[in-house]
Structure 1
Amino acid sequence: MKSLKYHFLSLIFIIVSFSCSNETTEEEITNSLDPRSYYVEQNISYGTDSDQKFDLYLPANRNSNTKTMILVHGGGWTSGDKEDMDPIKDLLQLDFPNIAIVNINYRLADENNPPYPMQIEDITSIINYLKSNKTTYNISESFGFIGTSAGGHLSLLWSYAFDSDNNTNMVCSIVGPTNFTDPAYLENTDVELKELLDLFGIDPLPSFLEEVSPLHRATASAPPTILFYGGKDPLVPTTQGTDLRDKLENLGVVNQFTLYPDAGHGWSGLELLDTWTKLKIFINNNL
């Protein structure tokens, strides 16, 4: 099953090459919560489990209008770590120096602990933590999400179905599954892929599959959404992206969809540069 647990490394390790000159140095980091100063705090606990931690990056000169981008790593719901998203964090700090960044870990699924609702509950706990500490951190209650693979699925699902206060301004899914009722999943014969999907239950009811599918939870109040998919992805069929795109179009939700026909579960080079270029514009317009 190891081959299925991509952390989207082909994207995040190469994308960092576009940002190397303006990263904050150790000397510039301060432990003061003075809003005039840049602040970093790592491994903040938001629960009792060792995986319930996140890293916080607060920009200098922040105020009560400062918005926060939340990064959600992939790994097939069973593996991965917030460190996998550090290169994207670095890019955000380079191109969006005025936003706060939260890079999260969440409890990983296994045969005794399914991903849902556990991982959605973890995101809710993080959001509640940030809201309760917004005065201390000098940030607003406005958030955005960037998730890769399983993290893309979690970002979409939480933003569409669990953001009861409508605090999510935008959500980005890079190769995230969106629809577990897709025939491409229900009728698949790949043993390893089936093992991965069985994390959500052996022969689950259609109603449950809809409950855990962002496609079926999207409404007209869903936040602006940007999607990226690979045409040759062995884990996430193209229909996972195109069907959600069509649903959002029908609902009148602002969205943008990009398919790289020859890419798999990750890409590099000009396609990667295209991803970041489009995502930067989307963040500027919506966060």
Structure 2
Amino acid sequence: MKKFAFFSFLVLFFFSCKEKTINLGEKVSFSIEKDISYGESSEQKMDLYIPQNKDSIRGIFVMIHGGGWKGGDKSNLTLFTLSMMERFPDYAFANINYRLASNNSFILPSQTDDLDSALDLLVIKSVEIKSKPQFILLGNSAGGHLSMLYGYNRMFDSKHRKNVKAIVNIAGPADLSDPDFKNYSDYDFVEKHMIDLSKPTPIDITNQDIPNPIFWINETSPPTISFFGNNDQIIPISQKTILDSVLYKNKVYNQSFEFSGGHLDWNNEKNSPIIIKRINEFLKDIK
């Protein structure tokens, strides 16, 4: 029965996408715009889901995929985004791609610049759809790191940081200098390709501190909810302890939870509904 229900859901989803609408239940429907360009690169694309009841859109979730900063795609978060839309029918959702790092390119500042550019477009869209220009940055893995870095980092010229209402970090690293994180199999790539050193950086801040979200946390940082796997071999559970400690020290409202399993198990049938429920409760607390 479960398989049949899931198949029916997919049929409805793909049929509705053809029609440019998604129906997720009684009185819950969204219009969809696929692959909107927010820059000149073919990677700078987003899918935008807008509630068809536009009278009371409370803000925009910005979904930021993982993939080790050099892989992944917004399609990895499509089904989770749909599940979120069922619970949050009064929010718009932007599921974004960004320029990926490679052996010949860097993570920063390209990827935080892309967030800025995507939010530029979403500010314009928020006027069109009569939404508040408030953003909830939700990222998993590398996307979680980027959501925190954008929301916390006061060095980058982030035009929309003040409009970030909350951050949802799912298994993203908050401290890249954590010795446990250095066991990550691709750590060598991350270390060599995190920052483009040809770009100017402040002389009083080390290149090790710049990409570390916890370095930038202060009392003005956005409320943050985080989720970490208790058997994650990529993002160690020590990251939870580190992030919690710095947020509490700076009196930033925060919650954090462990889920059962490894790095990708947050999005399975057991954990995903619990995570969405926790996000919903968290956002009610910070109204």
Normalising by the smaller structure, the TM-score range is 0.7 to 0.9
Residues 208 and 61 (structure 1 numbering): CA distance in 2 closer, same or farther, change over 3 Å?
same
Residue pairs, 1:9-28, within 5 angstroms? 20=9, 26=16
| Greater RCO (CA < 8 Å, at least 6 residues apart) | 1
TM-score by structure 2 length?
A: 0.81
What corresponds to 2:200 in structure 1?
none
Find the counterpart in structure 2 of residue 194 from structure 1.
188
Classify the secondary structure of the residue corresponding to 2:207. helix
Percent sequence identity is 30
Query: 1:259 aligns to what SS in structure 2?
Result: strand
Shift of 1:246: 0.8
- Mapped partners of 1:201, 1:131: distance in 2: 27
C-alpha spacing 1:256/1:194, structure 2 compared with 1 (3 Å): same
94, 97, 100: which one aligns with 1:105 = 97
Equivalent residue, structure 2, for 1:3: none
Q: What SS class does the counterpart of residue 54 from structure 1 fall into? A: strand
Q: Deviations over 1:242-279 (max 9, x none)?
A: 1111110111111111123x522122454444323212
Q: Give the Cα separation in 2 of the matches to 1:256 and 1:20.
A: 32
The Cα offsets for residues 108-140 of structure 1, whole Å up to 9 and x where unpaired, read as 100111111100000000111111333223222
Kindly tell me: are residues 135 and 113 of structure 1, through their superposed partners in 2, closer, same or farther at Cα, counting changes over 3 Å? same
> Are 1:118 and 2:110 matched, yes or no?
yes
Long gaps (5+) in structure 1: 1-15, 31-36
User: Structure 2 counterpart of 1:86, which letter?
Assistant: T
Match among 121, 145, 150 for residue 142 of structure 2:
150
Residues 73 and 147 of structure 1 are in contact (CA less than 8 Å); yes or no, is this contact kept in structure 2? yes
CA displacement 1:151-194 (0-9 Å, x = unmatched): 000011111123655111111111101112212245x4x65433
> Residue 258 and residue 144 in structure 1: after superposition, are their counterparts in 2 closer, same or farther (change >3 A)?
same
DSSP 3-state at the match of 2:208:
helix
Per-residue deviation, 1:195: 3.1
Distance 1:47 1:28, change over 3 A: closer
Aligned partner (choices 248, 256, 261) of residue 263 of structure 1: 261
Q: How does 1:245-284 map to 2 (within 5 A)?
A: 245-260=244-259, 263-267=261-265, 268-284=268-284
1:53 to 17, 39, 45: 45
**Structure 2: runs of 5+ lacking an equivalent:** 22-28, 198-202
The correspondence for 2:162, drawn from 162, 166, 170, is 166
CA–CA separation in structure 1 for the residues paired with 2:242 and 2:216: 13
Deviations 1:193-228 (A, max 9, x none): 33344322699x981121111111111111110111
CA RMSD in angstroms comes to 3.2
Decide whether the 8 Å contact of 1:67 with 1:140 is kept in 2: yes
Aligned equivalents of 1:283, 1:72: Cα separation in 2: 18
Change (3 A) 1:156 1:183: same
Is contact 2:136-2:167 (8 Å) kept? yes
Q: Secondary structure at the match of 2:148?
A: helix
Question: How far apart, in 2, do the equivalents of 1:269 and 1:60 lie?
Answer: 28
